[in-house]
Amino acid sequence: MVAPVAAPLLGALILQWSGWRASFWLLLFFALVIFVAAHRIVPDSLSANKWTTLSFKSIAASYATLFGNKPFMLYSLAGALLFGALFVYISISPFILISKFGFTSIQFSLILGGNALLVIVVGALNIRLLSSRGPRGLLLSGLGVQSLAGLALCLLSFASSGAWPFVAILACYIGATGLIFGNLAALTMARGGPQAGIASAFMGASQYAGGALVGLIAGWIGTTAAVLAIVLIVCAVASLALCVIASRIR
């Protein structure tokens, strides 16, 4: 839950300290650590009698089955849109908070860091509420909060409000991801069927593809507060609708 928000901050620090090439060395280091952990520490959860032969035919058949799984695809599309909203927030908020509202770079970093901390707090609350509300209820609640916050941001952006109301509502939108990403991933994988590896790979790839596509479209339109607000509310409302439909398919 924290990684999508904290990662850009870490990337910005790396750029300041040692340049962009260091980011790729850090990615290599992370990949090696994960490889060693997967190979030496984490046991295989799938029994040997359920293994399948690795071949193009088996992979293609698994993806064909997955693409016909409507609940999984709807949840995956919702995740792609939500990552798109997050990427747009990360890419456009510096222009709004620094260029438009006049925050310093330090203040901007503190705001982003505060939002990341809020995600952690809401995520901890999510864990405590899981037994009583369930992942579906918490997911829909988080998306509802984001939809309302997106509407408020639209009203504030067109009304040319001050900086702090915009920052406060934006924090509510980002903080709500603590109720969303973990539950959405759980519900998506629960509908993924027996091919958990294929399902996980597609879910992750679709999220970053959605983030890239939505971010690209938003960048073409502009870097204003109105663009950010519109993208955030469209992604939240569309994701809410997709998750409601997916949850009703048996």
Residue from 6, 181, 164 nearest 90 by CA: 6
The segment with the largest mean pLDDT, out of 46-60, 129-143, 159-173, 183-197, is: 129-143
Give the Cα separation of 172 and 142 in Å (integer).
10
Residue from 163, 158, 160, 143 nearest 232 by CA: 143
Contact (CB, 8 A) for 220 and 179: no
Residue from 82, 97, 81, 90 nearest 225 by CA: 97
CATH fit for domain 70-248, picks 1.20.1250.20, 3.10.150.10, 1.10.3720.10, 3.30.230.10: 1.20.1250.20
pLDDT at 143 over 90: yes
| Mean pLDDT, residues 74-82 | 96
Contact (CB, 8 A) for 84 and 214: yes
Q: Report in angstroms the alpha-carbon separations of 52 from 41, 49, 137, 227.
A: 23, 9, 35, 47
Express each pLDDT in 198-236 by its tens digit: 999 999 999 999 999 998 999 899 889 999 999 999 999
pLDDT at 91 over 90: no
Domain ranges of the chain: 70-248
pLDDT the model gives residue 11: 74
| Residue 51 banded pLDDT, cuts 50, 70, 90 | confident
More confident residue, 16 or 173: 173
